Structure 1
């Protein structure tokens, strides 16, 4: 695919906002079926993503709050709403919230966005309110209050369901991936450097896509593996796939106004395509 030029219409700025982090281990926590002796530190960062341009402010995922961070043992760095403020965006200005999936770290804080239409896959809402939630192991990554908040927005007329692959606006579309949950969706955005794909938990780390390995929380194994290929097919290159929790995102791209936790994804990476393989970063399409 060709890169989109700066003069093209309907291109957007895209920012990754890191609001929390967690000191996980490689074995068991981040890879399904790893050798339990492979106990290497592998931090997990938590992001929300902002798409701005053409008169639109779209937020992809809404994070969790400080109370949830304490209860789940996560290190809370900023409120996502405060990070939006750093970009000069008030929560009331967000017109659309795309929820990639309904896990606690992606679907909290919904009440903070009173004017936003919520876009969620119908399969995801069916999943998080259906019989699968009878199993404690399956419902553990969900917060009941977040699911209830989404249902309240539905009954207030502020939810639009997506089914499969659909446009959100000119230059922004969602794609049903599944795998991690029944209705996980990724978001493709047209930027000045080409089409980037906000993978969310379709790929927690670049290394999941590169090696074809699985994150341990998985609803459907083949769908998760197929999803890695779909992400690459949708994006204009390996650096255009943005994983959902990889700390390398903050070293791969420039920071907005030097802010340590706000990264500009619409600008070219700070290095030539490809992070060293032993660091788990992306490689070129030709190397796949």
Structure 2
């Protein structure tokens, strides 16, 4: 893709929270078993002429079904940074789990970017097994199939450049087709790792998260995301509350809610 590399603004927008213990965040548990909650995020990548929303979260109904708590609707967080959900033209789906691919009607104009392998994974024989399908919502999968037939899905196979300075990269592991997003910013190359690593501790300690399709790919994914980023401080995990402590807030009143990942960490 031709054109100069752009510096994008990158936002982490927290929309939900779940209290839990450390023992459920690592294969093999954790001997300390202290509180280690998860935050739920979507991300926005904002350039001079294009906006990319990364993942679409879940809504209040799904939260109730799964015992989660929606704190602020995603569309409210996007509006706070100047993005109208109904006008978004590009949505990147890192993977099809319920907390990343919900809110099915929120982006009516968008083209969705997804890996070939993820679509095959969530519609194929692996979904015959309850242990693999329980983190998917069938209506989210059906909605993606509908978009395929509407001509609103762009498939990717491995690494693809979506715009100068923005690309997606398959890593797998957590699901069969999980992809991460590499973004060029004023502070260098940032990687939105999504669930390639739920927490900083998963990748820093080499201790995988227990919801996993292929443990080997997950472990290799830790190295892959660091190779794509300019430093460890440029890799952003998918669910760690620490993200909102390490990076400055978008505005004073978004402390603990919306952070700027293209800014220098605090």
Interval of TM-score (by shorter of Structure 1 and Structure 2): over 0.9
- Whether contact under 8 Å (2:5, 2:184) holds in the other structure is no
For 1:265, the equivalent position in structure 2 comes to: 261
CA-to-aligned-CA distance 1:62-93 (integer Å, 9 cap, x gap) = 00000111111111101111110111210122
C-alpha separation in 2, matches of 1:181 and 1:55: 32
Task: Kindly indicate whether residue 7 of structure 2 is the aligned counterpart of residue 21 of structure 1.
Answer: no
TM-score by length of 1: 0.89
C-alpha separation in 2, matches of 1:72 and 1:224: 25
- CA shift for structure 1 position 9: 5.0
C-alpha separation in 2, matches of 1:120 and 1:68: 22
C-alpha separation in 2, matches of 1:45 and 1:231: 20
TM-score by length of 2: 0.96
Structure 1, gaps ≥5 residues long: 1-7, 271-288
C-alpha separation in 1, matches of 2:111 and 2:48: 17
Query: Over aligned residues, Cα RMSD in angstroms?
Result: 1.0
**1:214-225 alignment to 2 at 5 Å?**
214-225=208-219
- Whether contact under 8 Å (1:99, 1:118) holds in the other structure is yes
User: Which of the residues 84, 91, 115 maps onto 2:85?
Assistant: 91
How many correspondences in the alignment?
261
For 2:70, the equivalent position in structure 1 comes to: 76
Q: Secondary structure at 1:69's aligned position in 2?
A: helix
Structure 2, gaps ≥5 residues long: none
For 1:140, the equivalent position in structure 2 comes to: 134
Q: Secondary structure at 1:110's aligned position in 2?
A: coil
After TM superposition, where is structure 1 displaced by more than 3 Å over at least 4 residues in a row? none
